[in-house]
Amino acid sequence: MEHILRPIYQERASHPNTLGIILLEKRKPESPATDNFDVILFVVVKEHESSHSLKHYQLQSGKKAALKTVDTKQLNEWLEIGSNRRIFDWIINGKIMFERNEYLTNLKQTLTDFPLNHRKKKIGLEFAKLIRRYVDGKELFELGNYLDAYNHIVHALHHLARLSIIDNGLHPEITVWNQVRRIEPEVFTLYHELVESEESLNKKLELLFLASEFLVNKNIKIGSIHLKETMEEKEIWSIQELTTHPELEDYGIDFEAFLEYLIEKKLIHTSLEETKGQGIYHRKYTVH
């Protein structure tokens, strides 16, 4: 396979804009990591007309290949936010066919080491998603909307699982529950109870929300550390300043529910600032 694709990746390796090329072959008959293509060629460039591009090839043997080109800005965003988990697999497990100035070797080493300063934001993002799903799900449960509450608690447990994996210094894989079974059996047991228990749905959800609340509180310190460290830059913040801060804007629609939860838990404090309207105040935020 490698020799057939050599003309394609050698052409790209000759471009001064190219930083590295990785080849990843399908390891199993069904391979989510390669989108069931037989081989992926992943090309990292300094700049590109669009942030990423894609080409598909059919080989004479009947096998399929995909060429994915991405610029460093998009790649760094995927790695920082964790929104494209396949990328981690490609970089860590793929074969380096070409690299400039050891770009891919150094990147692979950073991902393998996964130092705490790289983990803090990822943990914060997962915890914010967890809080959003948990709070919304609990409200739906209390209103008697059990099927919608079920959907939310499934997602909440998934974010809790990913958070546990990251906190243990690993990157979440596509098969996240296989990882959690080994790393955080307590979280895996909750998920197993949700899908396997023969209890009625409302009874099952009641027990799960109680257990989830304990695990949410258990993770609140590590989950809020990124936000709190960012807020230590200055004493008082408006909501506009928080949501547009470069370190916090990736929290997106989950941020306000996350912030309110931390206020409820007395980890973030509010203060009031007068406006021109009588009896109306700006709400400001400070870290405890």
User: Are both 139 and 106 inside the same structural domain?
Assistant: no
What gap in Å lies between CA 27 and CA 101, rounded to an integer?
29
Structure tokens belonging to residue 48: 């590109």
How many domains does the chain divide into? 2
**Distance of CA 224 to CAs 120, 271, 283, Å?**
9, 20, 20
What gap in Å lies between CA 218 and CA 264, rounded to an integer?
15
**Distance of CA 24 to CAs 31, 44, 252, Å?**
11, 14, 33
Is residue 284 assigned to a domain?
no
Last residue of a domain, one of 48, 81, 113: 113
Is residue 286 assigned to a domain?
no
User: Are both 139 and 257 inside the same structural domain?
Assistant: yes
User: Are both 163 and 207 inside the same structural domain?
Assistant: yes
What gap in Å lies between CA 206 and CA 114, rounded to an integer?
36
Last residue of a domain, one of 113, 136, 158: 113
Q: What is the pLDDT along the chain (288 residues), one digit of tens a residue?
A: 667 778 887 888 889 999 999 999 887 766 667 877 889 899 999 987 666 788 998 887 888 999 999 999 999 888 888 778 788 888 988 999 999 999 999 999 988 888 887 899 999 999 999 999 999 999 999 999 999 999 999 999 999 999 999 998 888 877 788 889 888 888 998 888 888 888 899 999 998 898 899 999 999 999 999 999 999 999 999 999 999 999 999 999 999 999 999 999 999 999 998 888 888 899 999 997
Domain that holds residue 251: 116-274
Q: Considering only CA atoms, which of 107, 8, 104 is closest in space to residue 65?
A: 8
Place of tokens 């409820």: 264
User: Are both 166 and 134 inside the same structural domain?
Assistant: yes
Is residue 22 assigned to a domain?
yes
Count of all residues that appear for the chain in the document? 288
pTM of the predicted structure, to 2 decimals: 0.82
What gap in Å lies between CA 213 and CA 183, rounded to an integer?
20
Is residue 281 assigned to a domain?
no
CATH number, domain of 147, equals: 1.20.120.330
User: Are both 216 and 107 inside the same structural domain?
Assistant: no
